[in-house]
């Protein structure tokens, strides 16, 4: 212990809540004073993650309304902890007793039992995707902070199963958050085909962070990409993370993989290419930060599977009810939220990296 | 700040030292009392990372001898901090003044300057691969602890450029730590071809951790795979991380990716397959933990490259001297060390997960 | 940052909430699974801290009802974060606009403004004594955990102004939590005399923790008494902390201050005296842990005081409304709560101090 | 675990080393780049703590020379970890085997054994006062940082046994660091009388920190005075801590204890008195920070004492050799060092408290 529900050293988020408990939420300790913030700032983020919004997401009826309980006074953050509450409303709609003693394949049922000797079997409890609602709310606050510094993260679906986007189309808007209309159509067909047989699909999410100044991130263990990796891999169902050229870099050569430094029109230093993905030696280099993550197919499927129960007896299982045939689209905003949390944390850390910066910070006007 | 030189919550490692400073080292706070430990336990790990040991590694002459300064009394750990000192011996051999004001492409020179306003330009300073010597020493201590609990990590080279291993051959021993003799031969050719033109190669490292009991790792942000991702991505030159099927899982379907639970001969619960890579919901499931990481080609190459200096002037650079034409083989033991650090930390955390475990722990014999 | 709203490394508490915001609360991350817990366990603690319960406490009408939002399933802790919500009900009863731009002497108004550039001026905001409601709720959970291990803390008023208790009378029950009836009577007179002139009183709280096994606490910076000192000094209005003989030890001599070790009837080792207060070298020694803290007189008084406003103008202030003429009695349970938090944290830490303990912990039955 | 050898969140110090091991030392992670630093900066601090310098300190011959191993390049801090090494030179001079299985009264022998199941019995191991050498070295670095911001801590002996200083005399210099010549003479007599009978004395240390700007420290658990309390109570032999009027405040009344705010000649806000000791609501108020701590009499005395051995057998003990008859004078610089560590940590934290401060910090010149 502690049970790992906190993230960040400066912009520090602690989340709580189970899928079918009374409520979920987040407490942010370390958000600077002086940012305009209201529940309206959280809404657009929460809406993108919400269940029941398209043919590819579950019908669970949650409005995911956020109540800010503390840390904001007259519309401005005060520097004290910002607590956000999200009530579960539709948590009593289903009977989970038939799976209470069965370990669902691909889920955390078995491992929670081995760790804690007990599990809240209602819809996955703390290991449910519903846990991410609290992350998204916290990420929205980080986004508001970073907006003050011109930093903006954008995540989107890069591929579903074998279907990848071609050229990024910023004008395209669809329920898969896949910025290429043709790819969206094919991906929809792919998902529908799998769903019709009770099966599910995976995919890849890409995230681009613009406006990050050079110099963020710590050397050694807390490299900016290492923190992004932890942040993104901590989202349930994510199985891989890569930055810049990622696994492709293993096939490249030094001369092809290195990015030349060149002068920008304004005289500053930029990179001619961005194989590094915006981070060198764990520290942001001023280019766009670009990373990808792999999302596994939804584990809850209605096909017959072989498993075991708590008493060590083999059992068959067919998971009833509607489940998302693909997690990817709802995870997009979660990836974005985690990116914001990492960058916010690193930005705050940078203010005490150097004596000259500290002196500027503390100088009375 | 802090500058990110600590890792772990329970088995907590802090490293220090630059490439060409007086010394490197690590302090481990939280290693349990009662483990037999001497400098001899560190040697085999240090030897695998040492420069100058094969045709593919630099000739820098360092014996990497470790001195244990504290925390061990009469051959046994006492529970107090274990400090390990590694003197730099060959640090004065080279003149770095010609690159002192130039930003080498693919290196952290530029980003350190932007972050700290100063950099130790001698061989990369803190961003040098030499920093990993301290990690490896600390990992060796974690390995000694985990041996008491039957846990063993093994990392090896899975691919160099386009050359992958076929079947894993445990008897094969070579300077690339590539457990397939035929692949080793081809990879050597690949590296030599690139080196002869002043270029360099990348590759993929795989690690298998055996003997990890089910129940380690924390839900949410400190998932065991998220911590492994941070640990491994924090090694310089690593650009991607994946667990189990990793990025392949994005192409799979639910029924193919889920691992069925089945009874083991001894009545316990095991998985029929291991697509998950030994972790479900962020908690170890009792199967082997299997992960891979992508290592980029060595950034230091002797080909002509375009870059900038500290004054914003375009410059050409050809990096002189011998450099490893591939980092992968020397990174193998670093990956293993980081795996040990993560598992040791999670093992210690597990002892207070449950009231019944705590009661067993504190019961007087 | 972070803004210091978390406490503990293993049993980790994060609190939030302002005096006149929507709600206060606490999130406990790291409470072991398997403890029986319900809102009824929190009530007795909350009742002892509640306003409006005697002639010496403010009339603010708060029932301080706690709602457990997460981390408990079917009456048992699950190992996931326990979030506790306490709604503010009476927060709109008063108009604070007249003090919005004035710095009250003895309060944190000025320092919050200097730190954050903004303050929630309604009743002190985050610096209000109301913040302690969340600590007490968290402490009640720690108390429930420690009860399983036979550990019990008891705090009480040792003195009010010049009036000290004589012999401790466990049967005595009064609104000052002062376990000596005669002292209680005199202390009441002292307080009433000060109150009648618009003034206020201070006092000393003592706490005894019984049942703590020898071996808890960490050497060096996290000594058990150092953590108790931080915990107790972090309660608003506390100005001093001492353990065992405390400041008296400075007047003593080695032979008088050392506690002889002697055999207990059961053959174990005990101390003949307890000048140390139950802690030696920062680690519990098996004796009762005994500490005291000094509480300053209530800063909110209705006497005329000289002060300044936000614009740097001198102002006179007479603080209106009813305020506690003494904080001590309501702080008693807060001290107890903080003691529980420290001991719970240390107890969990101890489970991984030694290889033999860890092996006992992880042994399958 | 962790075993508590780290202190600070931003300016983060980790120490290691036992009394009679190979070496002691400290690693500082988070010291800002750009401060001039060399071993000469540490010397004056180390000299004040060193053994063998007066009639009141042990004759152990240690020069306490510090070697800076990392984090400094060409005389300037680089932002990377600063490791400091202090070799033990005189550690083999004594035979401790006669006390190896005996628990010395007033020492941590028994509690280390209960915690770790093993102890380094040579001179107290990690619980020895020698551990403070590493703190002092780290504190000297913090002092150098804070000097850049006009902050200066001064600790001195306020009393020895019953002998207190009267008026503070800044010109007085003596081996007890007691700034009143008459008091020094009386205190020397007091100590000598106790020493001649094999006994020892205690005392009180006071520390004044000047130049701390208003606004440092975090609300709630990490109040600046709470952190100072932890820091100072974590020094072995310290039994009490108080800030401002401290325990005297318990006897005071609101009107006497509150400090009026008044205009300074330059128009800023100051306090007419300083009962608070420079901290209000856990945040510095711009006045001098003033605190005191109680130091118990040296536990190692040559009088006959009753104790037990590891086998539970009663034993008599007379501790041989020369020991400091009073710890106070050597603890003075340790208190000062801990004060510097706390203030440095709080100063760095303040740079990200507010959006406007962060914007100033990150603005390009």
Is residue A133 in some structural domain?
yes
Number of domains in chain A: 1
CA B70 to chain centroid: 24
> Given D110, D161, D233, which is nearest C251 (Cβ)?
D161
Q: Is the peptide bond before C273 cis (omega within 30 degrees of 0)?
A: no
Task: Look at residue B103 and tell me if it is in a domain.
Answer: yes
**Option in D3, D23, D33 nearest B69 (CB):** D23
Flag whether D319 is in a domain: yes
Say what percent of chain C tops pLDDT 70: 96
How close D220 comes to chain B (CA, Å)?
Answer: 21
Q: Sort out which chain A residues have CB atoms less than 8 A from D362's CB and list them.
A: 149, 213, 347, 350-351, 357
Q: How confident is the model at residue D33 (pLDDT cuts 50, 70, 90)?
A: very high
- Per CB-CB distance under 8 Å, the chain B contacts of C72 are none
Closest C-chain CA to D102: C261
D365 confidence band (pLDDT: 50, 70, 90):
low
Q: Which of B34, B79, B355 sits opposite C32 (nearest CB)?
A: B355
C204-259 tens-digit pLDDT? 999 999 999 999 999 999 999 999 999 999 999 999 999 999 999 999 999 999 99
List Cβ neighbours of A251 (8 Å cut-off, separation of 6 or more).
B161, B162, B202
Name every residue whose Cβ is closer than 8 Å to that of residue C254 and which is 6 or more positions away in sequence.
D106, D194, D199, D200, D201, D297, D298, D299, D300, D301, D303
* pTM, 2 dp: 0.97
Residue C2: pLDDT band with limits 50, 70, 90: low
* CATH code where residue D267 lies: 3.60.150.10
How many Cβ atoms are within 10 Å of B170's Cβ, its own excluded?
8
Give me the tens of pLDDT residue by residue for chain B, a chain 365 residues long: 557 999 999 999 999 999 999 999 999 999 999 999 999 999 999 999 876 667 776 666 678 899 999 999 999 999 999 999 999 987 665 667 777 899 999 999 999 999 999 988 888 899 999 999 999 999 999 999 999 999 999 999 999 999 999 999 999 999 999 999 999 999 999 999 999 999 999 999 999 999 999 999 999 999 999 999 999 999 999 999 999 999 999 999 999 999 999 999 998 999 999 999 999 999 999 999 999 999 999 999 999 999 999 999 999 999 887 789 999 999 999 999 999 999 999 999 999 999 999 998 888 75
- The first and second tokens of residue A36, run together, are 């305009």
CA torsion D186-D188-D189-D192 (nearest 10°) is 160
Question: Token pair for residue B77?
Answer: 């750990």
Residue B37 lies in domain = 6-364
Record the tokens describing residue C60, joined without a space.
């603010």
Q: Which of C111, C220, C249 sits opposite D281 (nearest CB)?
A: C111
Shortest distance, CA B74 to any CA of chain A (angstroms): 31
Using alpha carbons only, what angle is made at residue D28 by residues D23 and D30, rounded to the nearest 5 degrees?
A: 170
CB within 8 Å: C362 and B149: yes
Task: Give D-chain residues touching A348 at CB under 8 angstroms.
Answer: 352, 358
Please determine, for residue C166, whether its predicted confidence score (pLDDT) is greater than 60: yes
Q: D117-144: string of b/e by CB count within 10 Å (b at 16+)?
A: bbbbbbbbbbbbbbbbbbbbbbbbbbbb
Which residues sit opposite A200 in a β-bridge? Answer: none
Give the pLDDT confidence score for residue C124 in this predicted structure: 86
Least Cα distance to B101 among B301, B303, B319, B312 occurs for B312
Name every residue whose Cβ is closer than 8 Å to that of residue D71 and which is 6 or more positions away in sequence.
Answer: B16, B18, B21, D28, D31, D77, D78, D79, D80, D81, D82, D83
Burial category of A181 from C-beta neighbours within 10 Å (exposed 0-12, middle 13-18, buried 19 and up): middle
Tokens of D77: 């801090």
Residue C321: is its pLDDT beyond 90? no
Segments of D296-336 assigned E as strands: 305-308, 314-317
- Is it the case that residue A17 has pLDDT exceeding 70? yes
Q: How far is A194 from chain B (nearest CA, A)?
A: 8
Mean pLDDT over C105-121 rounds to: 93
- Asked whether residue D62 is domain-assigned, the answer is yes
Whether residue D29 and residue B23 make contact (CB cut-off 8 A), yes or no, is no
Confidence of residue D91 (pLDDT cuts 50, 70, 90): low
Which ranges of chain C does DSSP label H, i.e. alpha helix? 39-49, 109-116, 132-147, 181-196, 224-233, 254-257, 328-350, 355-362
pLDDT at C96: 75
Q: Please, which residues have CB within 8 angstroms of residue C329's CB and are 6 or more apart in sequence?
A: C54, C56, C57, C157, C175, C176, C177, C178
Neighbours of chain C (3+ CB pairs under 8 A): A, B, D
Residue B132: closest CA among B28, B240, B24: B24
Residue C98 has pLDDT above 80, yes or no: no
Of the partner residues A32, A80, A360, the one whose CB lies closest to the CB of residue D363: A360
Gap between the Cα atoms of A116 and B355, Å rounded: 9
pLDDT at residue D3, as a whole number: 79
A234: helix, strand or coil: coil
Contacts (Cβ under 8 Å, ≥6 apart) of C147? none
* Domain-located, residue B15: yes
**D281: nearest CA partner in chain C:** C108
Instruction: Say whether C27 and A16 touch across the interface (CB within 8 A).
Output: yes
Look at residue D1 and tell me if it is in a domain: no
Distance from CA of B185 to the nearest CA of D (A): 40
Q: DSSP readout, B59-80?
A: -------EEE-SSEETTEE-SS
- Looking at the complex, report in whole angstroms how far the Cα of residue B91 sits from the nearest Cα belonging to chain D: 13
Using pLDDT thresholds of 50, 70 and 90, give the confidence band for residue D2: low
Contacts of A70 in chain D (CB under 8 A): none
Distance, in Å, from the CA atom of C10 to the CA atom of C352, rounded to the nearest integer, reads 11
Predicted pLDDT of residue A52:
61
Judge contact between C332 and C156, C-beta under 8 A: yes
User: How far apart are the C-alpha atoms of D63 and C133, rounded to whole Å?
Assistant: 52
pLDDT digits (tens, 9 = 90+) for C250-266: 999 999 999 999 999 99
* Min Cα–Cα distance to chain A from B53, Å: 22
Rounded to 5 degrees, what are φ and ψ at C210? -105, 145
Report whether B134 contacts D29 (CB < 8 A): no
Q: Determine the residue among C284, C351, C354, C360 to mutate to test chain B binding: the one whose Cβ has the most chain B Cβ atoms within 10 Å.
A: C351
Q: From the list D32, D348, D358, which residue is nearest A32 (CB)?
A: D358
pLDDT at residue D322, rounded to an integer: 73
Q: Which residue has the higher pLDDT, D317 or D100?
A: D317
Measured between beta carbons, which residues in chain C are less than 8 angstroms from residue B150? none
Q: Is residue B1 part of a domain?
A: no
CB contact under 8 A, C299 and D258: yes
Check: complex ipTM more than 0.95: yes
Express each pLDDT in C125-145 by its tens digit: 999 999 999 999 999 999 999
- Among all residues of chain C, which has the CA nearest to that of A9? C2
- In this predicted structure, the answer to whether residue D52 has a pLDDT above a threshold of 80 is no
User: D276-307 b/e with 16+ CB inside 10 Å = b?
Assistant: bbbbbbbbbbbbbbbbbbbbbbbbbbbeebeb
User: Is residue A1 situated within a structural domain?
Assistant: no
Q: What pLDDT does A94 receive?
A: 66
Contact D103, D113 (CB under 8 A): yes
Interface test with B, best of C8, C213, C358 (most B CBs within 10 A): C358
Name the 3-class secondary structure at A80. Answer: coil
Of A4, A29, A70, the CB nearest to C6: A29
The verdict on a CB contact (< 8 Å) between D3 and B27 is: no
Given pLDDT bands bounded at 50, 70 and 90, which one contains residue A322?
A: confident
Binning pLDDT at 50, 70 and 90, where does residue A130 land?
very high
């Amino acid at each position: 212990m502690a049970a790992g529900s906190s993230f960040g050293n400066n912009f520090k988020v602690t989340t709580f809540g189970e899928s079918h408990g009374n409520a979920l939420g987040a407490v942010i300790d370390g958000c600077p004073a002086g940012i305009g913030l209201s529940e309206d700032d959280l809404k657009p983020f929460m809406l993108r993650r919400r269940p029941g919004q398209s043919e590819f997401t579950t019908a669970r009826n949650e409005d995911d309304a956020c109540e800010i309980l503390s840390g904001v006074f007259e519309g401005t953050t005060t520097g004290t902890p910002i607590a956000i509450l999200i009530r579960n409303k539709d948590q009593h709609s289903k009977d989970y007793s038939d799976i209470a003693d069965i370990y669902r394949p691909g889920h955390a049922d078995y491992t929670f039992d081995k760790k804690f000797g007990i599990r809240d079997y209602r819809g996955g409890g703390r290991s449910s995707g519903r846990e991410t609602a609290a992350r998204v709310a916290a990420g929205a606050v980080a986004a508001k902070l970073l907006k003050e510094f011109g930093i903006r993260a954008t995540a989107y679906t890069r591929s579903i199963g074998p279907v990848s986007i071609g050229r990024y189309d910023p004008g395209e808007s669809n329920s898969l958050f896949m910025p290429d209309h043709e790819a969206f159509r094919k991906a929809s067909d792919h998902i529908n085909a799998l769903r019709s047989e009770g099966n599910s699909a995976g995919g890849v999410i890409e995230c681009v962070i613009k406006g990050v100044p050079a110099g963020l991130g710590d050397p050694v263990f807390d490299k900016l990409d290492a923190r992004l990796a932890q942040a993104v891999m901590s989202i349930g169902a994510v199985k891989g993370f890569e930055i810049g050229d990622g696994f492709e870099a293993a096939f490249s050569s030094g001369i092809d993989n290195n990015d030349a430094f060149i002068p920008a029109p304004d005289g500053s230093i930029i990179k001619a290419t961005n194989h590094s993905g915006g981070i060198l030696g764990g520290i942001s280099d001023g280019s766009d930060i670009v990373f990808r993550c792999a999302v596994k197919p939804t584990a809850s499927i209605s096909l017959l599977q072989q498993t075991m129960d708590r008493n060590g007896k083999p059992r068959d299982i067919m998971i009833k009810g509607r489940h998302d045939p693909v997690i990817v689209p709802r995870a997009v905003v979660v990836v974005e939220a985690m990116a914001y949390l990492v960058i916010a944390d690193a930005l705050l850390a940078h203010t005490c990296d150097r004596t000259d910066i500290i002196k500027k910070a503390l100088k009375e006007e």
